[in-house]
Amino acid sequence: MIKITFPDNSVKEFEAGISGLGIARSLSNSLAKEVLSITVNNEIWDISRPINEDSNIKLHTWDDAEGKYAFWHSSAHLMAEALEALYPGVKFGIGPAIEMGFYYDVDLGNGMVLSDKDLPKIEQKMLELARNKSEYQRTDVTKEEAISFFKEKNEEYKLELINDLEDGTISFYKQGNFTDLCRGPHLPNTSYIKAIKLNSIAGAYWRGDEKRPQLTRVYGITFPKKKFLDEYVIMMEEAKKRDHRKLGKEMELFTFSQNVGQGMPLWLPKGAQLRESLETFLKRVQKKFGYEQVITPHIGNINLYKTSGHYEKYGEDSFQAIQTPQEGEEYLLKPMNCPHHCEIYKFKPRSYKDLPVRYAEFGTVYRYEQSGELHGLTRVRSFTQDDAHLFCTPDQLKDEFKKVIDIIFIIFKALNFTDYTAQISLRDKVNREKYIGSDENWDKAEQAIIEAAEEKGLNTVVEYGEAAFYGPKLDFMIKDAIGRKWQLGTIQVDYNLPERFELEYVGSDNQKHRPIMIHRAPFGSMERFIAVLLEHTGGKFPLWLTPEQVVIMPISEKYNDYAEKVLNSLNNSDIRAVLDDRNEKIGRKIRDSELKKTPYLIIVGEKEATEGTVSVRRQGEGDLGSQSIQEFTDFINKEVEDQLSSIEQY
């Protein structure tokens, strides 16, 4: 008999060799129908795989990310089987599950290419194969056996992958007529897959190397029920309307230029205003929490990043080193702001009475992401982080952590992110070799995060083995207005950089001690945050944030002078107003303004010019009637004041 420990710490005994599916059946038949994968001692397994020793387990259904992972990983293999049946001789690269679905990189050979018109045929073949109820069968193989198998199939991409694997760690999965190199996990059989949608085709360089062959990447998603696919299709249609690249162009927020370079966003005046409003808002919040603003260069000596470890971590993803006239001297475009902040901390001696020290910076950093990975504002090569680094004593750690959570709460409330969870990322329960620092410090840091999250009433999930090598962390996962998940806001505890940079403070015992460092970025990066915000709001920002709060539209050019008077009055009252004096019909101007999501429209003609009033329309609501210029000014300023005061009263 073996002992199985469940997530609630209850323990049950089972015969050795029982599978996750067998455990689920022992609990309830309904659970057995829904379980898709199982975590055994922090490793995700097939639910059909036998368990032969005492283990901690967690069963996963479609509602869990681990359940979807197994489902979509199995679907990638099903698509590969369909491709092999339709295109004999096709060669395969990698086919992972991703956040929403899966993909497979393939080489059809002979100059053959796939197009979108081929996708329905592949979908139909997948559905046909799924109905066969073929089992996903796992087999452990030796390296020699794996090489022999794929040599016979002339699969050079798989052979290259095998060369990087150690003997004794290699497994195959077979379903129907298809066998793949894979560590799993997978579903019990293909019949679980009921609904299929292949979304798109793209090019992808083998192993992300632009010097290697370009493969065809086929993206897809599958579901256990047809209604889930129907809901997904509706969501994707809404996502197209909310695509930040589309809205950014329509609202004239940002653009890209090949002459400037891929992944280098250019912020247009309205986008710059949006960024400035966000930065001003966060700076005001940070000031109340005792932060000090700092500014650091865009480059640094290469030795700075070697000391911090960022050169080792980001060296391959960085731009080439900058050679100076001084022989042997090299600089890098900075990949992170933290090393610079450590040097600021070091510029003078510190006492425990000086701590905590809180440095904040909207610092631009640079990483050379592969061109195929670039995507609008969500994946760029130049981005600005709302970085802050706190240096504190062990006794201050939990309180400082809680205050950072408070800042994130304020931001989420300000921008109507109401559905979120917090992931507590801790050390692996068994393998401690990949972490630095003493167990005592780790225990304190982990306990501080757990207690802080509990005391702040966070809805949390705990993930063991997901901590950074230098310390545990807390990541906030939000759901946007149409149900998609995004990671926004992170807080990390770091014992590593204070050690690497030999940071010190003199304690009350007159001895030198290392401070603890907290990294935090509530927005993450301005670029990615604005992309998520655009898609969450559909471009309809709260009035305090929107770049253009009011557009003034004269009915004809005869009233341009009066419109200018209204414009000057509003701008002098810190209302962001613009004048649309184009020689267009008023209906066209209104439609254009609606497209740009301007909250308030003012129409002026003979009546308004004579009476000193304005005719007001609210975006999406229509006519609000006539007001004096002063009444409208007070109305707008009060709405902004009410919005900001309700946020800051949190």
- 186 a catalytic residue: no
Higher pLDDT, 153 or 314: 153
pLDDT of residue 642 exceeding 90, the answer is no
Q: Reply yes or no on whether 367 is catalytic.
A: yes
Q: Is residue 246 part of a domain?
A: no
Q: Does 509 score more than 70 pLDDT?
A: yes
Same-domain pairing of 24 and 75: no
Whether residue 378 sits in one domain with residue 259: yes
- Using the 3D structure, point to which of 502, 537, 572 is the last residue of a domain: 537
User: In 3-state terms, what secondary structure has residue 628?
Assistant: strand
Q: What is the pLDDT of residue 649?
A: 60
Instruction: For residue 211, give both structure tokens.
Output: 């010097």
Annotated catalytic residue 536: no
Catalytic residue, candidates 217, 513, 519, 520 = 519
**Average pLDDT for 150-172:** 92
Tens-digit pLDDT profile for residues 31-48? 999 999 999 998 899 999
Helix (H) or strand (E) holding 475: strand 473-479
Q: What is the pLDDT of residue 369?
A: 84
DSSP lists the bridge partners of residue 618 as: 600, 622
Burial class (CB in 10 A: 0-12, 13-18, 19+), 573: middle
Does 325 lie in the same domain as 221? no
Number of structural domains the chain divides into: 4
Q: Degrees (nearest 5) of the Cα angle 170, 174, 180?
A: 50
User: For residue 354, is pLDDT > 60?
Assistant: yes
> Among 77, 182, 186, 338, which one carries the catalytic annotation?
338
pLDDT value of residue 607: 92
CATH number of the domain where residue 397 is located? 3.30.930.10
Confidence of residue 615 (pLDDT cuts 50, 70, 90): very high
Q: Which amino acid is at 277?
A: S
392 is in an annotated binding site: no
What is the CATH classification number for the domain harbouring 628? 3.40.50.800
Mean pLDDT score, 314-341: 87
Within this chain, do residues 494 and 630 fall inside the same structural domain, yes or no? no
In terms of phi and psi (left: phi > 0; alpha: psi -120 to 50; beta: otherwise), the region of 218 is beta
pLDDT at 292: 97
pLDDT attached to residue 289: 95
Burial of 431 (0-12, 13-18, 19+ CB in 10 A): exposed
- 313 pLDDT band (50/70/90 cuts)? confident
Task: Please check the confidence at residue 554 and state whether its pLDDT lies above 80.
Answer: yes
What does the mean pLDDT of the chain come to?
91
Q: Which of 241, 263, 285 is the last residue of a domain?
A: 241
Using one digit for the tens of pLDDT, what is the confidence trace for 51-66? 999 999 999 999 998 9
Q: Is residue 126's pLDDT more than 70?
A: yes
- SS3 (DSSP) at 383: strand
495 and 470 share one domain:
yes
Domain of residue 591, residue span? 548-647
Assign 648 a pLDDT band (cuts: 50, 70, 90).
low
- Centre a 10 Å sphere on the Cβ of residue 464 and count the other Cβ atoms it contains: 16
**357 near 391, Cβ under 8 Å?**
yes
Question: Domain holding 13: CATH number?
Answer: 3.10.20.30
Q: Are residues 107 and 167 in the same domain?
A: yes
77 is in an annotated binding site: no
**Is 387 annotated in the active site?**
yes
Asked if residue 514 and residue 384 are part of one domain, the reply reads yes
Reported as a single tens digit per residue, the pLDDT across 224-240 is 999 999 999 998 899 89
CA distance 635 to 637: 6
445 plus 514 within the same structural domain: yes
Query: 275 in a domain, yes or no?
Result: yes
451 found inside a domain: yes
Instruction: Examine the pLDDT at 434 and tell me if it is beyond 90.
Output: no
In the three-class reduction of DSSP (H, G, I as helix; E, B as strand; rest coil), residue 82 is classed as helix
Residue 393 in this model has a pLDDT that exceeds 80: yes
The catalytically annotated residue of 427, 473, 513, 528 is: 473
With residue 379 as reference, give the H or E element that holds it. Answer: none
Annotated binding residue 340: no
Indicate whether 109 and 231 sit together in one domain: yes
Kindly state whether residues 79 and 54 are assigned to the same domain. Answer: no
Whether residues 457 and 361 share a domain: the answer is yes
For residue 650, pLDDT over 70 is answered with no
Q: Give domain status of residue 123, yes or no.
A: yes
Residue 247 domain-assigned?
no
Residue 119: band (very low, low, confident or very high) from pLDDT cuts 50, 70, 90: very high
Rounded mean pLDDT, 575-587: 90
Boundary-marking domain end, from 515, 537, 559: 537
Residue 278 has pLDDT above 70, yes or no: yes
Residues in Cβ contact with 359 at an 8 Å cutoff, skipping those fewer than 6 apart: 291, 292, 293, 294, 341, 344, 345, 388, 389, 390
Within this chain, do residues 87 and 233 fall inside the same structural domain, yes or no? yes
- In this prediction, residues 561-577 reach a mean pLDDT of 94
Residue 542 is assigned to a structural domain of this protein: no
H, E, C per residue of 236-302: HHHHHHHCHHHHHHHCCCEECCCCCCCCCCEECHHHHHHHHHHHHHHHHHHHHCCCEECCCCCEEEH
The answer to the question of residue 429 being in a domain is yes
DSSP lists the bridge partners of residue 303 as: none
CATH number at residue 136: 3.30.980.10
Q: Has residue 433 got a pLDDT over 90? A: no
Active site residue 287: no
Q: Does a structural domain hold residue 249?
A: no
Catalytic annotation, pick one of 367, 514, 520, 528: 367
The region that residue 223 occupies, defined by phi over 0 for left and psi between -120 and 50 for alpha, beta otherwise, is: beta
CB of 445 closer than 8 Å to CB of 495: yes
